[in-house]
Copies of this chain bind each other. A is one copy, B any other.
Amino acid sequence: MKISFIGAGNVAWHLAQAFEKANHSIVEIYSRDKKNAQKLTEKLYNATPTDRLDFSHSKSELFIISVPDDAIAQVVSELKCPKNSILVHTAGSKNLSVLEPLPFTRKGVFYPLQTFSKGKPIDFKKIPICIEAENETVEKILQKLAFTICDNVCFIESEDRKTLHLAAVFACNFTNHFMHISKNILEKDGLNFNMIKPLIEETISKALSKGPENAQTGPAIRKDTNTINSHIEKLSFNVDWQNLYVLLSKDIQSI
């Protein structure tokens, strides 16, 4: 397929290169700041960088909006695409309907359920790509496209995609934050975060293999009140973390 990207962030960065490897051709990369678009086109065979949202005369059949979730509405309000081209966004938290202001396109969602960073290579093969489309024809085109880069394609409607996104916030953003808190607690006492890395790796491996509901350990699940109280006391330097510790311990005991 001939594909253009609206956005040159982490998702576009990896997706554009994966599509090119799978013999699709990337036509344009848009970014508000043309320099960002250019950084990505330099990684591609023959794509043109641009900072204009008028694609009326583009040769692309598919336009992929991969800007920050909150910027989609603004981009859509300015975007011009060829009649009958396919327009998708890659956002976990946004409805298909956010694309409605562009009536002459065929619409869908192409949501790779993964976290991307520019510096870190990604193997798309194992990543679930969640597809939604306004009709079956578009659904099939997007499905076929997804299968050219990955093995795991699912059809997920907007409401379920929101559920996935919410679940990911708990399992990823909040767990990352707890590792951040953990690192701060260690460094405050001159200890190195590296020390607990093997423990974290094993914890996650256990949770994923036997299920988190069978993998819980620690003072809360043991109802070890002495340890819980001594931890709360040790957290006296940060009332918010004390509060989180109490709530989490209670929730672990009640689930």
Q: Please determine whether A211 and B183 come into contact, CB atoms closer than 8 angstroms.
A: yes
Cα A55 to Cα B209 with chains together (Å)? 40
Give the shortest distance, in Å, between A240 (CB) and chain B (any CB).
Answer: 6
A93-B219, A185-B167, A217-B173 known; A178-B178 Cβ under 8 A: yes
Q: Looking across the interface, which residue of chain B has its beta carbon closest to that of A95?
A: B230
Give the shortest distance, in Å, between A90 (CB) and chain B (any CB).
Answer: 14
Q: How large is the interface on A (under 10, 10 to 19, 20 to 34, 35 or more residues)?
A: 35 or more
Binds B, one of A35-43, A112-120, A134-142: A112-120
Question: Most B CB atoms within 10 A — which of A170, A178, A197, A222?
Answer: A170
Q: Please determine whether A168 and B180 come into contact, CB atoms closer than 8 angstroms.
A: no
Q: Please determine whether A196 and B164 come into contact, CB atoms closer than 8 angstroms.
A: yes
Q: Please determine whether A114 and B199 come into contact, CB atoms closer than 8 angstroms.
A: yes
- 0/1 per residue, A163-184, Cβ < 8 Å to B? 1111111111111111111111
Give the shortest distance, in Å, between A114 (CB) and chain B (any CB).
Answer: 6
Taking CB atoms and an 8 Å cut-off, the chain A residues in 193-224 that contact chain B are 193, 195-204, 206-213, 215-222, 224
Q: Please determine whether A113 and B234 come into contact, CB atoms closer than 8 angstroms.
A: no
Give the shortest distance, in Å, between A150 (CB) and chain B (any CB).
Answer: 10
In the bound complex, residues from chain B placing their C-beta under 8 Å from that of A196 are 113, 164, 167-168, 171-172
Binds B, one of A23-31, A46-54, A241-249: A241-249
Give the shortest distance, in Å, between A63 (CB) and chain B (any CB).
Answer: 23
A154-B195, A240-B247 known; A235-B166 Cβ under 8 A: yes
A-B complex: 6 closest residue pairs judged by Cβ atoms: A173-B218, A171-B182, A179-B212, A175-B175, A180-B212, A172-B203
> 15 additional contacts, CB 8 Å, given A115-B206, A163-B188, A170-B185?
A93-B219, A93-B224, A115-B199, A154-B195, A159-B189, A167-B196, A169-B220, A171-B199, A173-B216, A174-B175, A175-B179, A176-B207, A177-B216, A180-B255, A197-B208
